[in-house]
Amino acid sequence: MSTYPVSERTKMKRGHKRASYDVELVHSIIDEAYICHVGAKMMDRPMVQPTAHWREGNKLYIHGSSKNGLFQTLIKGEEACITITILDGLVMARSSFHHSANYRSVMIFSKAKLIENRDEKKRLLNLMMLKITPERFDEIREPNAKELKATTVLEFDLVEVSAKVRTGPPVDDEEDYALPVWAGVTPLTLEKGKALDDPRWLDDHGKNDEE
């Protein structure tokens, strides 16, 4: 089993039985989730931004506007704390205190590397699209030179990393099991709904499609 080394910051002090440093588990959580939260100190205040992410090997990538203030801070060397969470269920206990959630989460401490090579930037952005919409990848237009210039891609090494996972039913106080209150787990999943057509698509193609 391949695991990440445990550092002082990634060592779980509370709920340590839920901690994992397994590389395969960490990668699976990163790959399944679509959004991460990137936190760092920006000038004189903390800042957290949600953004799409993707992974290649043992590196995580994010992208955004070249004028993004947080990204500029990261490029200058400020360390990031990146978190990813997948909520799998609401844990319903017999007492309010023991209600909880089933989840899979990852926390990453890392400094950003700016991807400057144009071809490499395009390749990595293509990997992002393959994650988001692999079935449409061959149809959509790649970014042009102007769009590439306006886009920043940042790379983070996955070295100081930990995962935390909760599964299973509620854990109540022994005397509360006699209460006539339902307890269990309400599962939660992220599902793609039915696609909604762009009105311009209907204007340009709808009549032909119906014919």
Provide the whole-model pTM: 0.92
What's the average model confidence in pLDDT over 46-69? 96
Residue 211 has pLDDT above 70, yes or no: no
Token readout for 77 is 């060397």
Residue 1: its pLDDT value, please? 55
The residue among 14 and 147 whose pLDDT is bigger is: 147
Q: How much of the chain, in percent, has pLDDT values that exceed 70?
A: 97
- pLDDT by residue (tens digit) across 179-203? 999 999 999 999 989 989 899 887 7
Q: What token pair was written down for 198? A: 């762009």
Tokens 């071809």 sit on residue: 119
137 vs 82, higher pLDDT: 82
pLDDT at 15: 79
Token reading at 166: 């909760």
With cut-offs at 50, 70 and 90, classify the pLDDT of residue 171.
very high
Q: What domains lie within the chain, and their CATH numbers?
A: 16-210 (2.30.110.10)
Question: Comparing C-alpha atoms, which of 189, 209, 211 is closest to residue 197?
Answer: 209
Dist. CA 163–CA 32, nearest whole Å: 14
* b/e map 36-66, b = 16+ CB within 10 Å: bebbbebeeeeeebebebbbeeeebbbbbee
Query: Which tokens go with 192?
Result: 């793609």
Please report, to the nearest 10 degrees, the dihedral formed by the alpha carbons of residues 86, 88, 94, 96 taken in order: 20
pLDDT band at 207 (very low <50, low <70, confident <90, very high): low
Encode pLDDT of 95-123 as tens digits. 999 999 999 999 999 999 999 999 999 99
pLDDT of 209 over the 70 cut: no
Q: Among residues 200, 205, 75, 63, which one has the least CA distance to residue 143? A: 63
Q: State the pLDDT at residue 49.
A: 97
What 13-21 contacts at long range (C-beta under 8 Å, 24+ apart), as own/partner pairs, is 15/164, 15/166, 18/164, 18/165, 18/166, 19/162, 19/163, 19/164, 20/162, 20/163, 20/164, 20/165, 21/161, 21/162, 21/163
